[in-house]
Chains A and B, each alone.
Chain A
C-alpha cells in the first residue's frame, strides 16, 4: 500500500513461488532439442513429451508475472471512482469487463463506479505486461482480489473511526460503507483517511466464493455503450495535436528492399509534407490520408526481391513435408491409421489495421498504439531512435482485434523512425493491402499422424508437425528464461512442448515439432500450435473410431483421461442430440480441447451438400474454465472462436506466389461473413469448480476439429488440406 494525501492506492500481494517451475524443469530433465531429444531406445523420450501435463505454458506465464504482481494497483479516488490500472491490452477479449467485475466484487462497489485503465508500458513490471496465452484472468484473478479486498478493509476501518463504531459492525454495499443504523459513507469521502491506515481492523482477505454476487454473473461489456455510439477511441481516433497522416510504400515481395527511389513527383503533390526511406519501405507524410495515399502511388520505386522470392506454396509444402521427423513405430498394415495434413498460412487480419501514433523528439518519445507487449515495444523503439528506455512512453490504446497480431509492434518502429526523421508527430497506418501482404502469418504446417491398434484398442499414437518457424521475439524467450524453462528451446519449440497434452488413453504417445526456418513473418495466431495440432488429433480420433467400427463420441467417452473433458463431451452430445438423423451431405462432428487450465467441447452440424459452399448450420459448445468470471463474455469468446475455426478450416487462408501473399483484402481472404455462419450457437458454461483458467483462445482448436470431422462425415472424405475449399 502506498500512503498518499489524496487517495487510497492498494497494491496486490502475491506469494513468491517463482522457484517452482525452475525446479520442475530440472527434475524432469528437459532438454533443448525437441525432435532430436531421443530416449534410451532411440525414440523420443516419453517423459519429455508429457511435460505439458506437469508444467504448461499457462504456468510459465503466470509464474513469470508473479514477482511483480505486488505492483498491480487498485485506486479509490476522492470522487468515489474505483480505478484498476490493468497492465494488459483490451483487444476485444473482454478482460476489462472481467477485471471490473473482480474488483467491484471484492470492494462491494457498483460496476458502473469502476474504471479499468490500460496501463502505459511499465518496465518495472518485467514479464507482467504481456497480453497472451489466454492468461490475463488466470494470472490476475488472485492479485486483483487481494488488492480490492485490502482496499475495502481500509475503507471500512476509516469509516469505523469516523463514526466511532466497531469496524466489525459495518458492511459495504454500492461503493459505500454502511452503518448498522443505515447511515452510509461513500468510498470517495473515505479514501484520504483510508490511505493512512496501515493495519485494517477487519479482514483484508478476499471473499468466500460462495458469497460472490458479481463474479459469475453474466455481464454486459462495460464499454458496450461507448462502442455502439461510436465513442470508443482506437489509435487513429485519438486527437494527438499536429500528428500527420503517414503511409508506407512497401515492396511487392515479403521482406523486399528499396533499390532505387525517385520521389520527385510524389513530393510535388499537394499536401505532401515529407518522404523518407525506412527499412521496410518509403514513408509518405502528408496533410491527409488522401494526400499520403495519392503521393504513395506517385512514388517511383524499384525493389530488390525479398528473401522468399523463390518460394511458392508447393515449395513450402515440400520443405515442410521433408522436415517432418520420422515415426518410431513402423506401419503395421491394417493395424495402422496413417494420415497427413497441410495447413495454409493464415493472416491475423484484425479489423483495425496496424497503426501507431508517434511523437519522437530529441530528448523523448511518446507512442500510442494497441500493444500486447508494450515494454518490449518501448525497449525496441528506444534502441531504434537512440533514446534511453525511460524516455520512451508507450500508451496502450484499446485495439480493434488482435488474435495474436499485436504482440508484435512493427508500426511502432516505423512510426518512431518516421517521426524522428521528419521532426513531426505522425500517425502511421498500414492499409488493408499492406496488412494482408506484409502482415504476420500463422505458420504454414504439415502434419503426419499414425495410430496403431491391436485387438480393438489403440496402443500407440504419434504426431509429427513440420512448421515454418514461429517468431516469438516479442519477449517470449525472456519469459521462458525467467521461469527456468529456456532449456525447452526456441520460442515455438517451447510453446509447443508446453501446450500439447494427451487427452486420451491411446498407449504410448509422442508429439514432435520440427520448425523450418523460411523467411516469412510469422506470429502466434489465436491458440498457436493447438489450432492445427488438436484438429489433426481429433480428426485422427474419428479415423480411429472408423477403423475400430466404433461411434466417435462413444470412443472418446471411453478413452478420455479426465472427468472434465468427459463432462463437456457428454454435455454437447446430449444438448446437440448426437446421432440424430440428417439428410445425406449434412453431418455432425465433435471436437475437444484442453489448455489454459480449461476444457471445451463443440458439436457442429455442417451442411456440405454444396461442397463449394459448406456451411456450419448449428453449433453447441460446453466449456469448463474452472470458474467463469463473466459467463456472457465467455460465451462470446466461444462464439467468436467458432467463427475463426470454421473460417480457417473451410475457406480462409492465403497463398504464397514467389514470396508474396496473393490475397489483398477481405474480398479474397475469405474470413467468414454472416452467410457463412450458423444461425444458432448454444454455449453451456459448466458450474464453477475452482479458480479461472484461460478462455480467449480455448475454443478455436475444438471448434476447428468439430468442423473438420463434420466435413469428413458429411462427404465421406477425410480432409487433408486446410482450408478445405481452396480458391
Chain B
C-alpha cells in the first residue's frame, strides 16, 4: 500500500491507502475529518467543497495521490482556534443554515470566491454552483456580502 503525505488543516498527515483512493473517503473515513460531505460523488452538488492549496475543489473527484505534498483545508481548518473565519461568522450572523448539510461546502466556496474577488457582485455570486436543497440561497448571498464588507 503506498503512502501519501500532505498538509491537512495545518498538520502534516500520512496515509497508507491505494493510489486511486478518493480523497473524500480518505478524509472522512481514514482521517475522521467529516466536515466535507458526500452529496453526489461526481463533483456536481459541491457539498464536499474544500481547498487544495488555497483554491476550492471537490474532494469527491480527486484521488489522494494528486494531493501528495500539497495543502488541504477543510471546514475544520478554517477557524483560527476558537476565532471563527469572517465568513463563518457571517453565516451565523445571517443565520444561514437550515439542515446544515451543504453549509461547510457553501462556506468553503464563499471563502474561495472572496479570495478571488473581495467585492463580488450579485452576478459573481450567481456563479456559485453549490446546491442547497433547503433553499437558503438568499441568506448565503447576504452572508457573502456581509463578509465582503467586514
Write the residues of chain A forming the contact surface with B, with a CB cutoff of 8 angstroms.
91-94, 220-221, 223-230, 232-234, 236-237, 239, 245, 270, 288-290, 293, 349-353, 398-403, 429, 431-432, 632-633, 636, 639-644, 647, 665-667, 671-675, 677-681
B99 & A289 in contact (Cβ 8 Å cutoff): no
* Interface assignment of B57: CB less than 8 Å from any CB of chain A: no
Using A227-B100, A350-B99 as known contacts, say yes or no to A642 and B37 having CB atoms under 8 A apart: no
Inter-chain residue pair count (beta carbon < 8 A): 186
A679 & B141 in contact (Cβ 8 Å cutoff): yes
Using A671-B133, A674-B128, A679-B122 as known contacts, say yes or no to A229 and B84 having CB atoms under 8 A apart: yes
- What does DSSP make chain B's interface, helix, strand, loop or mixed? loop
Complex Cα gap A674–B107 (Å)? 14
A288 & B29 in contact (Cβ 8 Å cutoff): yes
What's the least CB distance linking B6 to chain A, in Å?
A: 17
- Contact with B45, one of A220, A290, A351, A402 (Cβ below 8 angstroms): A351
B100 & A245 in contact (Cβ 8 Å cutoff): no
Complex Cα gap A696–B6 (Å)? 44
A432 & B42 in contact (Cβ 8 Å cutoff): yes
Complex Cα gap A666–B43 (Å)? 10
B131 & A643 in contact (Cβ 8 Å cutoff): no
Question: What 1/0 mask marks residues of chain B from 75 to 114 whose CB sits below 8 Å from any chain A CB?
Answer: 1101100001000100111010111111110010000000
Question: What 1/0 mask marks residues of chain B from 21 to 61 whose CB sits below 8 Å from any chain A CB?
Answer: 11001001110101111111110110100000000000000
What's the least CB distance linking B131 to chain A, in Å?
A: 5
16 further interface pairs, Cβ-Cβ under 8 Å (given A290-B21, A632-B95): A226-B100, A227-B104, A228-B104, A229-B35, A289-B25, A290-B22, A290-B25, A293-B41, A351-B37, A351-B47, A351-B131, A401-B133, A666-B131, A672-B135, A674-B129, A678-B138
- Contact with A229, one of B36, B47, B75, B136 (Cβ below 8 angstroms): B75
What's the least CB distance linking B45 to chain A, in Å?
A: 5
- Contact with B136, one of A226, A293, A432, A640 (Cβ below 8 angstroms): A640
* 22 sample A-B contacts, Cβ–Cβ < 8 Å, listed by A number: A92-B99, A226-B100, A229-B84, A229-B88, A236-B28, A245-B29, A288-B17, A290-B25, A350-B99, A351-B37, A352-B37, A399-B99, A401-B134, A431-B41, A432-B40, A640-B135, A643-B134, A643-B136, A665-B42, A672-B135, A675-B127, A681-B138
Can you list the 10 inter-chain pairs with the closest CB atoms, starting with the nearest?
Answer: A643-B135, A230-B35, A92-B99, A400-B101, A227-B100, A230-B75, A92-B98, A237-B34, A640-B135, A675-B126
* Interface assignment of B140: CB less than 8 Å from any CB of chain A: yes
A401 & B99 in contact (Cβ 8 Å cutoff): yes
The number of residues on chain B lying at the interface, defined by a beta carbon within 8 Å of a beta carbon of chain A, is 60
What's the least CB distance linking B23 to chain A, in Å?
A: 10
Contacts of B97 in A (CB 8 A): 92, 221, 223-224, 227-228
Complex Cα gap A647–B135 (Å)? 10
Complex Cα gap A225–B75 (Å)? 12
A674 & B125 in contact (Cβ 8 Å cutoff): yes
What's the least CB distance linking A388 to chain B, in Å?
A: 33
B127 & A351 in contact (Cβ 8 Å cutoff): no
* Interface assignment of B18: CB less than 8 Å from any CB of chain A: yes
What's the least CB distance linking B130 to chain A, in Å?
A: 8
B40 & A665 in contact (Cβ 8 Å cutoff): yes
Complex Cα gap A232–B41 (Å)? 21
B133 & A351 in contact (Cβ 8 Å cutoff): yes
Complex Cα gap A498–B85 (Å)? 48
Contacts of A225 in B (CB 8 A): 84, 92
Using A94-B98, A236-B28 as known contacts, say yes or no to A350 and B133 having CB atoms under 8 A apart: yes
- Contact with A352, one of B17, B98, B99 (Cβ below 8 angstroms): B99
Contacts of A94 in B (CB 8 A): 98
What's the least CB distance linking B137 to chain A, in Å?
A: 4
Using A351-B37, A432-B40, A674-B125 as known contacts, say yes or no to A636 and B101 having CB atoms under 8 A apart: no
What's the least CB distance linking B111 to chain A, in Å?
A: 11
Chain B residue with Cβ nearest A271: B18
- What does DSSP make chain A's interface, helix, strand, loop or mixed? loop
A643 & B18 in contact (Cβ 8 Å cutoff): no
Complex Cα gap A233–B100 (Å)? 10
Using A229-B79, A232-B100, A239-B32 as known contacts, say yes or no to A353 and B138 having CB atoms under 8 A apart: no
What's the least CB distance linking B7 to chain A, in Å?
A: 18
Using A636-B136, A640-B135 as known contacts, say yes or no to A228 and B84 having CB atoms under 8 A apart: yes
B139 & A636 in contact (Cβ 8 Å cutoff): yes
A229 & B76 in contact (Cβ 8 Å cutoff): yes
Complex Cα gap A92–B103 (Å)? 12
Complex Cα gap A93–B135 (Å)? 12
Contacts of A233 in B (CB 8 A): 34
Contacts of B18 in A (CB 8 A): 270, 290
A236 & B34 in contact (Cβ 8 Å cutoff): yes
Pick the most buried of B42, B78, B101, B122: most chain A CB atoms within 10 A of its CB.
B101
* Interface assignment of B8: CB less than 8 Å from any CB of chain A: no
Complex Cα gap A640–B137 (Å)? 8
Pick the most buried of B39, B100, B132: most chain A CB atoms within 10 A of its CB.
B100
What's the least CB distance linking A526 to chain B, in Å?
A: 10
Complex Cα gap A665–B44 (Å)? 8
B103 & A665 in contact (Cβ 8 Å cutoff): no
Pick the most buried of B22, B41, B76, B133: most chain A CB atoms within 10 A of its CB.
B133
Chain A residue with Cβ nearest B104: A230
Complex Cα gap A641–B135 (Å)? 7
Complex Cα gap A24–B134 (Å)? 37
What's the least CB distance linking A343 to chain B, in Å?
A: 19
Complex Cα gap A644–B131 (Å)? 12
What's the least CB distance linking A236 to chain B, in Å?
A: 7
Contacts of B136 in A (CB 8 A): 636, 639-640, 643
Chain A residue with Cβ nearest B135: A643
A432 & B39 in contact (Cβ 8 Å cutoff): yes
Contacts of B32 in A (CB 8 A): 239
B20 & A353 in contact (Cβ 8 Å cutoff): no
A353 & B39 in contact (Cβ 8 Å cutoff): yes
Using A220-B95, A230-B76 as known contacts, say yes or no to A349 and B133 having CB atoms under 8 A apart: yes
A288 & B138 in contact (Cβ 8 Å cutoff): no
Chain A residue with Cβ nearest B103: A227
What's the least CB distance linking A187 to chain B, in Å?
A: 26
Contacts of B93 in A (CB 8 A): 220
Complex Cα gap A308–B59 (Å)? 37
Chain B residue with Cβ nearest A647: B135
Contacts of A237 in B (CB 8 A): 28, 34
- Contact with A636, one of B44, B75, B98 (Cβ below 8 angstroms): B98
- Contact with B39, one of A230, A351, A636 (Cβ below 8 angstroms): A351
